[in-house]
Amino acid sequence: MDEVMLMDRSRILHEALEQCGWGNPDEVVQRVLRLDLGLPAEDEFAVICSWLGKCSLVHKLDQQQIPRSSRDTYQVPDLLAVFNTANNQYRVLIEVKTKQDRCLTLRAKDREKLLSYGEMLGLPVLFAWKYHGLWMLFDISLFKRFNKNYRVEFFSAISNSLMSLLAGDVNYQLGEGVGLHLKFKRNELHDNDEDVETWKAKIEDIYIQDFNGEKNYTFSPKILSILNACEIEEKIEVDSEYISQSFIVRPGMGNMAHRTMEKLLKMSDAVTNIHWRSLLVDESPLHSISDFQSALDEALRQKFVKYILLQHPQEYPAFIKDDDKAKGVH
């Protein structure tokens, strides 16, 4: 265990002891386990922001605040993040939420405390909302009055998400017919067990077909990662001499970069759930799928990816500068 990992584990133990005291070892153990799993949504969103490429800094904010009377005025958000677009740098505060309902509710007093904290520091307050595996990032101004509290509906949140503009997330779609094709030549029957035949075979042909039907023999491992993260239809053709195997991307299926990252991480270890906290300490598992945007650009040039979409919000929040706003189609 390296020094950084050891410090993280020590901090978790210290925090658990602060919250539970020394008198109940079982409670301390359970608290350590909960903390080690993290506040998973916060850890997950921080890792996603780091991986997408536009975030130069993201860290948690300690929410133990004194004097106690300050809690009547201020609420400390979960994260502070610094995003860099081609034109500007944005320093923002982020409150992280996970909820499966189509509306996210915010108490009026919590809204006022978050806004007061942001105004004191001169920073905008954003919400990161995970809804059925989909992350959205939006300004607190989207919450509208509803009875005594405030709420934002899913359609409003996703239509005004800043995940692309600030964090660098993209939507993309592969073209119809794109897929990996392999052709094996049978050499020798190795085993025959009732209805199952096992053959020794050699690969005679391997290529990726683009959406124009052309064969591409030169492609990088990152292109294969993009294909692996898609929904695939497998086809096998067998004759007396050859076995042909095809992995075709299911047509009409869109993807989001941040969801692709999660799929690729799960593929690297299908048995274990993603431990987001460990990725905050050790980023090495992310290196194999780093610079995803360049992989998409390469796939676009080779006619594997048909569309790459950079979503802009329907309404820009006040802090977004004019040179980062879409100019429209002329």
| pLDDT tens for each residue of 17-54 | 555 555 666 665 666 565 554 457 898 999 999 989 89
- Measured from the Cβ of residue 220, the count of other Cβ atoms closer than 10 Å reads 13
Query: DSSP labels for 37-50?
Result: H-SHHHHHHHHHHH
| pLDDT tens for each residue of 182-219 | 999 888 776 777 777 777 889 999 999 999 999 999 99
In this model, does residue 256 exceed pLDDT 80? yes
| pLDDT tens for each residue of 263-304 | 888 776 654 677 676 676 666 666 656 678 888 999 999 999
DSSP strand pairing (89-98 vs 125-131): parallel
Model confidence band, residue 144 (pLDDT cutoffs 50, 70, 90): very high
Contact 157, 129 (CB under 8 A): yes
Report the sign of the C-alpha dihedral through residues 322, 324, 325, 328, in that order.
positive
User: Is this model's pTM higher than 0.85 or not?
Assistant: no
Distance (Å, whole) CA 157 – CA 139: 9
